[in-house]
Structure 1
Amino acid sequence: MTAPLPRVAWIGLGVMGSPMAENLLRAGYPVTGYTLEQHKLDRLAEHGGTPARSVAEAARHADVVVTMLPADADVESVAHGPAGILANARPGALLIDMSTVAPRTATALAAAGAGHGLRVLDAPVSGGESGAVEGSLSVMAGGPPEVFAAARPLFEVLGGTVVHCGPNGAGQTVKAANQLIVAAGLQACAEAVVLLERSGVDLDAALDVLNGGLAGSAVLTRKRHNFLGRDFTPGFRIDLHHKDMGIVTDAAREAGVALPLGALMARLVAEARDRGDGGLDHSALLRGVERTAAP
């Protein structure tokens, strides 16, 4: 007889969290969800999930609690306090933070969770909204190997690349490196697009050949339509990438590493946000290149 799948509490049903929770429901996992917006809870119910009225209610009977939230303060808010996850999850439950937060936040959460008898992983993801919908995310996990092994079947529903990166905090360090590479890739693509257009080159043809050679990248593949159509509907907002570049900067400082390109990208992303582009997709870095290009 097949053992029942673990009961999952999913905290945070945003652009990424909703489709991820829905993929678990399609795979047969029972999912109870909590978020602040009623329409997102209604969406969860429409897909077969169970809305909860609070974090505590969602976590109380779960085998696995997953958080997918915008920033460190949000994770800390739902984890701690008498109404939080740590105080209400049953001992032995698995707590997986799939948000993107600072490595030090991840290690502190793991220590606090252990004090409450919980097994904790940090498991941020890359792949954006499309990867969340497709179940093709890259999952980079930090924590004890045996805890990662217990969580792996769930991760494999959500992602096509699932990797154990080391101890608690390692997943978040890898995610910081990921966000640095993505920001640099977006900026390089944006500059190339403006150069090609201003030079009178057939942009479609140029991007075809570029993506077939060493310049090819997931950034160019996934964001091509954004660049071509100037469609900056948010899949991953500049506001969030700004937050992530702060994590990159902090992680570099703690490691004693100079990141010249990282510092430049942190400034360019901050400038885009200051110009009012924070709510746009991060491919809107193209707008900054266009603003500085010669008329």
Structure 2
Amino acid sequence: MSTVAFVGLGIMGDPMARHLVAAGHDVVGHNRSPEKTRPLVDAGGRAAGSVAEAVDGADVVALMLPDSPDVTEVLTGQVFDVAAPGTLIVDFSTIRPDVARDLAEQAQARGLRMIDAPVSGGQAGAENAALSIMVGGAEADVADARPLLDAVGTTVVHVGPPGAGQTVKAANQLIVAGNIALLAEALVFLEAHGADLPAAVEVLGGGLAGSAVLNQKAQRMLDGDFAPGFRIDLHHKDMGIVSEAARSAGVVTPVAALVAQLVAATRAAGDGGLDHSALHRTVTRLNGDTP
């Protein structure tokens, strides 16, 4: 079993770190809000007062951080200077593909190994160790990371070289946001026609319109329950990644542009801290109602 430094113990990182403890790994966690290390310690892990303290002596450094600048700062400002040669860095964060490739090159130049392993499944997937993990990196490094990846996910797929995991994650976030937006519109449409909404959701789920998004988000929209599992703020960031990556590749994505604007509008209305199912609130506002 490995000694794992886990940096970033938020909604996703906390349960993932605890699953690694349950799998028998020695997990040393660090979070910029120190109180968030408590659940990990209670589960049998250890807390570190700094990134350097967590990384010192670790075989693996795992990251679950909000955005590209956060990952870059932690790696180039701290991890790269402390990690021993051969240390494997597993970045579970969702960041720009080009940043992931650049950081992997920097890691290799320092004698370190790095894979990008962004996840999908939200808080429920993290809590249940049922995440889908799209992995970019060298085949041997991915194989070495496999025991850790299998401890937190049920669908783990090596999708290509460094940065490939982030590219697939960007596509995932586009599909999810598009599905949520269309589900929100469908519910508002159904309500306007006086349909029995729970019955409509049930029958839609049994046909081609059925999806994980419908299963997980429709009832939340009906209940007006937008407690964050995956915040609009983060999906706004991810749609920016989609837009930039598409532009750099010369790919036209008109639906992505529209969905990105809906996500941005939801954030601008003050709903950035809510779950991404709060797109329903924006669609409601567009139809002249107060959510």
> TM-score by structure 1 length?
0.96
> Structure 1 CA distance, aligned partners of 2:39 and 2:143?
30
2:218 is the counterpart of 1:224: yes
The answer for the alignment partner of 2:73 in structure 1 is 77
Q: CA RMSD in A?
A: 0.8
1:288 partner amino acid: T
Give SS of 1:221's match. helix
2:253 is the counterpart of 1:253: no
Trace 1:15-30 onto structure 2 (pairs within 5 A): 15-30=11-26
Residue ranges of structure 2 left out of the alignment (5+ in a row):
none
The answer for the alignment partner of 2:280 in structure 1 is 286
Trace 1:110-125 onto structure 2 (pairs within 5 A): 110-125=104-119
2:40 is the counterpart of 1:44: yes
The structure 2 residue matched to 1:11, chosen from 7, 21, 24, is: 7
Aligned-pair distance for 1:221?
0.9
Aligned-pair distance for 1:224?
2.4
Deviation sequence 1:3-57 (CA, Å, 0-9, x none): xx01111000000000100111111111000001121112211111100011111
Aligned-pair distance for 1:152?
1.0
The answer for the alignment partner of 1:55 in structure 2 is 51
> Structure 2 CA distance, aligned partners of 1:41 and 1:160?
25
The answer for the alignment partner of 1:138 in structure 2 is 132
> Structure 2 CA distance, aligned partners of 1:38 and 1:13?
9
> Structure 2 CA distance, aligned partners of 1:25 and 1:210?
40
The structure 2 residue matched to 1:35, chosen from 18, 28, 31, is: 31
Deviation sequence 1:208-260 (CA, Å, 0-9, x none): 11011100011111112211211000000100000000000000011100000
Residue ranges of structure 1 left out of the alignment (5+ in a row):
none
2:136 is the counterpart of 1:127: no
2:169 is the counterpart of 1:212: no
Aligned-pair distance for 1:294?
4.8
2:266 is the counterpart of 1:272: yes
The answer for the alignment partner of 1:95 in structure 2 is 89
The answer for the alignment partner of 2:60 in structure 1 is 64
2:116 is the counterpart of 1:153: no
1:264 partner amino acid: L
Give SS of 1:80's match. helix
Give SS of 1:280's match. coil
1:209 partner amino acid: V
After the TM superposition, which of the residue ranges 222-231 and 85-94 deviates more from structure 2? 222-231
> Structure 1 CA distance, aligned partners of 2:4 and 2:58?
5
Aligned-pair distance for 1:155?
0.6
> TM-score by structure 2 length?
0.98
> Structure 2 CA distance, aligned partners of 1:268 and 1:30?
43
The answer for the alignment partner of 2:174 in structure 1 is 180
> Structure 1 CA distance, aligned partners of 2:221 and 2:81?
46
Give SS of 2:28's match. strand
Give SS of 1:10's match. strand
Contact 2:220 2:226 in 1 (8 A): yes
The answer for the alignment partner of 1:199 in structure 2 is 193
Aligned-pair distance for 1:197?
1.3
* Equivalences, count: 289
